[in-house]
Amino acid sequence: MSLTTWYLEMTDLGDLRPAREPEGDVRFVRVGIPSPAFSRFLYERVGGDWQWVDRLTWTPDRWRAWVDRPAVETWVLYQDGAPAGYAELEAQDDGAVEILYFGLMPGFLGRGLGGHTLTLALRRAWDLADRLPGREPTRRVRLHTCSLDGEHALANYRARGLEIYRTTHEQVDTSTKGRVA
């Protein structure tokens, strides 16, 4: 099958177009104590329906090495006390921040949480330097999505003010959930 990947960026916080705030008790909380098991849980639950497979083979030690890095932050959206989604941010060179993973848990789609969660994740990407001593200010926030992701993902990213800067196409073998070389 054909897979399209869109690479998006925001180069100015002023370009952010916030989504409406959902009703109820909704909180976006940074994971302050790195937990490999919790990070794996979020990755598997959010990515399970979207063929996120690149980290499924990671060992607990590999997860620990990843989440212990100061340049990585995990933010969890809670609705009425239940984890509803998450975003994983990574500080990179030259003032760039990448939203590596972003999404909602099954059962929380269609509640108006996606745009709000992305709004909050983008704000945390823009102020990430405030939490990392010696880090230069954020100058660019980027992420990517593909045609295997949720049907509203790309529209949500663009509605929040992210712009496509590159598009790729490749053939994939979905029977093994891996990309065909």
Per-residue pLDDT of the chain (181 residues; tens, 9 = 90+): 898 999 999 999 999 999 999 988 999 999 999 899 999 999 999 988 888 888 999 999 999 999 999 999 999 999 999 999 999 999 999 999 999 999 999 999 888 899 999 999 999 999 999 998 888 999 999 999 988 888 888 999 999 999 999 999 998 876 654 433 3
In this prediction, residue 178 carries a pLDDT of 47
Evaluate if pTM is beyond 0.85: yes
Nearest Cα residue to 177 out of 146, 155, 136, 137: 146
What phi and psi values does residue 152 have, to the nearest 5 degrees?
-105, 0
Q: What pLDDT does residue 180 have?
A: 36
Number of domains in the chain: 1
Q: What is the CATH number of the domain that holds 12?
A: 3.40.630.30
Sheet strand arrangement including 26-30: 26-30, 72-79, 82-91, 96-104, 140-146, 2-10, 163-173, 178-179
Q: Which domain holds residue 45?
A: 2-179
